[in-house]
Amino acid sequence: MINMIARRGFKQINISNSVRCYATRQSSATTGDEPDPQLGGYPQFVPQKAQEKNPYNKYWDQQGRTNFGDLLHEDEDVLGVHAPDVHQYSYAESAKSILYTIIAFSAFGYLASAMVPQRNVAPRDYPRDGLKDELSGVDENKAREYTPLEE
């Protein structure tokens, strides 16, 4: 209901009175009924992306999915096989699948870290101030310092 009301409201907006910048010109897009003067008599027909054509049909150009002698659409560079892909999913479905992927990777990482066994031995201790002199005498290079066991 709200969507229908919004559509009716958008139809009443006059697009020709919209604000334009200095260097822009009004759109020259035509409706489907009037002939396009820039085509010079070239036929106008409904655009169809090559990805939406049946790939199992036999074509003269199997990759481009066209037959010999077929008239190409004026926007063939946008409608051809090498054009950007046709989006079959909405933004909500895409966001949901990305979220599921993140959850799956996080769960796998958590399970992998939980399955790591505990170390069976204590970490090694080094004498003489953690071998500070042997490791260039810098405090950052100091290994784990030796602490004698109390008896």
Average pLDDT over residues 113-125: 83
Same domain, 66 and 78: yes
Residue 104 sits in which domain range? 88-115
Q: Is residue 66 part of a domain?
A: yes
Position 4 pLDDT exceeds 80: no
Position 95 pLDDT exceeds 80: yes
Q: What is the pLDDT of residues 34-82, one digit of tens each?
A: 777 777 888 888 888 888 888 889 989 888 888 888 888 777 777 887 7
Q: Please give the tally of structural domains in the chain.
A: 2
The pLDDT of residue 67: 85
Inter-residue contact 74 to 82 (CB < 8 Å): no
Q: Is residue 57 part of a domain?
A: yes
Q: Is residue 72 part of a domain?
A: yes
Q: Is residue 109 part of a domain?
A: yes
| CB count in 10 Å sphere of residue 143 | 16
The pLDDT of residue 88: 81
Percent of the chain with pLDDT over 70: 61
Centroid of chain to Cα 40 = 39
Q: What letter does residue 81 receive in the DSSP assignment? A: T
The pLDDT of residue 52: 82
